[in-house]
Structure 1
Amino acid sequence: MTPKRPFEVRIVLVRTIYERNIGATSRAMSNMGVEKLILINPACEITYEAQQTAATGQHGLQNRTTYASWEDFMAKEPESIKIAFTARDGKGRQVRDIEEVLTDVATHAPQFQVSSEEPYVVHLVFGPEDWGLAAEDLEYVNHCACLPTFGANWSLNLAQACLLGMYTLRLKWGGTRTRLDGGKARRAPQGIEGIDPEATLKTWLEEMGFDLTRQRKINVFTVLRRMLLQNTPTKKELVILETVLQQSIRKLREWKELKGRER
């Protein structure tokens, strides 16, 4: 199903180990009409090897954006739907086939149910080559997706995974196909600061008496946070949530102050 609203795809590589995979990803992006390459805390330097691997697809590599951390990324990237690719399920990970995720987003995400000429950003997120994305990385995304394989080896090369992810998205959501008649290649159109409902949610839970300091992979905050992200709320919905939580926090603090005076 094609979204009702135009979209801009951005590739996010997290803690990439080998620069050749960054170069190969840049080349794959040029095949799929994706121009924005983002690196989060890369574990390699970008040298001639990356340029050589990118070959005729240098645009993403040469115009890449690098962030030191997820916090930096979240502060500077636009509002988006973030789809993380992982081959591991279990341990609280709700992983679905990429086709199912794309159908779900196009059908139900409120960002794509409105008529707008402004493209909405979709980040496709890929982890490092050794162990992939960690649980801490997935706290920042809306959906977890896997790429189907049909052999005993389910592990994909990073650049191959990026190519397959973008290709599947193009098949599901569309784009302008490249002409193979020798003519000029056509490209698909490409293209908050403000509230912090997650911090407010944590404050609200603490005011409610929940202990969030204990080191557990899953607690009430992570569960509620994941539920919030997976429903891909709009900015307006986040503003309403922030307002409700702030009002609740004020009432709780007023009640605690009153009880303290009565003692």
Structure 2
Amino acid sequence: MKRPFEIRIVLVRTIYERNIGATSRAMSNMGIEKLILIDPKCEITYEAQQAAATGQTGLQNRTTYASWDEFMKQEPESIKVAFTARDGKGRQVRDVDEVLKDIADKAPQFQVESDVPYVVHLVFGPEDWGLAGEDLEHANFCACIPTFGDNWSLNLAQATLLGMYSLRRTWGGQRTKLDGGKVRRAPQGIDGIDPEATLKTWLEEMGFDLTRQRKINVFTVLRRMLLQNTPTKKELVILETVLQQSIRKLREWKEFQNRNR
């Protein structure tokens, strides 16, 4: 994509305010700030604020339009992706990942180099029957979120989160740094300790001869015993610490013996 984008979430005729609040929280997780309500069927009270929890930005800065006509007059030119779970006549519904890839690869708005972000509206319908045919007339694309169980109906807030996640996974964005942000000494898996630098060194300091070419020796046996269950990062760090401490103590003891000969 040669052009930056701005995502706006549109909720149409929403019935339950807690879903509006939960959507605001999901937006904060996905780095999206602009929430638009079209003809909401509920009031925004403390319940919505509770559901938004630490993601109040979208809720507090929301824009409300009485109708689609007002929305179309006030909102900038955009690509509108409507989410629906019904694949009726004329809807031409495709999986959301496919739709987003098509927009990125083929939409002329993103094929020109520009510093001005282009707006993409992600549109979600009410909790009872979803978007109506009249709503879809305003959309450029119809997308569905794949499900794999017998229940294909998603909660509205869950649907918005999955839709935004699909977009970020396809189009990218600034990934959130995990809490703490420290680099771990030992990565996950069997490479958590370096067999050559730690385990072998420890065995050699203990006096074992590992130079003989054998498929099974003390090193291979211990390596398999210690690492076959895919230890956690913490367990690997502890194991490495123990081995390194043993190596230091063995070397100190050998130096002490050499000095007193």
Aligned to 1:108: 106
Q: What TM-score does the superposition give when structure 1 sets the normalisation length? A: 0.68
| Equivalent position SS for 1:180 | coil
Q: TM-score, normalization: structure 2?
A: 0.69
Matches within 5 A, 1:46-85: 46-85=44-83
Q: Per the alignment, in what secondary structure is the counterpart of residue 168 of structure 2?
A: helix
Letter in 2 for 1:74: M
Q: Which runs of 5+ in 1 are unaligned?
A: 184-263
Structure 2 counterpart of 1:119: 117
Deviation at 1:4, TM superposition (A): 1.8
| 1:128 pairs with 2:126 | yes
Distance 1:181 1:14 in 2: 35
Q: Distance in 1 between matches of 2:88 and 2:63?
A: 32
- Equivalent residue runs for 1:1-263 within 5 Å: 3-182=1-180
- Paired with 1:115 and 1:4, the residues of 2 have a C-alpha distance of 5
Of structures 1 and 2, the larger Rg is shown by: 2
Percent identical pairs in the alignment equals 82
CA offsets, 1:17-40, max 9 Å, x none?
000000000000000000000000
Question: What is the alpha-carbon distance in structure 1 between the residues aligned to residue 164 and residue 140 of structure 2?
Answer: 17
- For residue 92 of structure 1, report the CA deviation from its aligned partner: 1.4
* Counterparts of 1:69 and 1:36, CA distance in 2: 18
- SS in structure 2 of the partner of residue 93 of structure 1: coil
Runs of 4 or more consecutive aligned structure 1 residues displaced over 4 Å after TM superposition? none
Report the 3-state secondary structure (helix = DSSP H, G, I; strand = E; otherwise coil) of the residue aligned with 1:89. Answer: coil
Deviations 1:86-129 (A, max 9, x none): 00012211000001100111111000000001110000000000
Whole-Å separation in 1 of the counterparts to 2:2 and 2:65: 31
Which secondary structure state, in structure 2, belongs to the residue aligned with residue 137 of structure 1?
helix
In 1, the alpha carbon distance for the partners of 2:109 and 2:180 equals 37
CA distance, structure 2, for counterparts of residue 39 and residue 147 of structure 1: 21
- CA–CA distance in 2 between the matches of 1:143 and 1:33? 23
Count of residue pairs the alignment pairs up: 181
Shift in Å, 1:182: 3.5
Instruction: Give the aligned residue type for 1:65.
Output: T
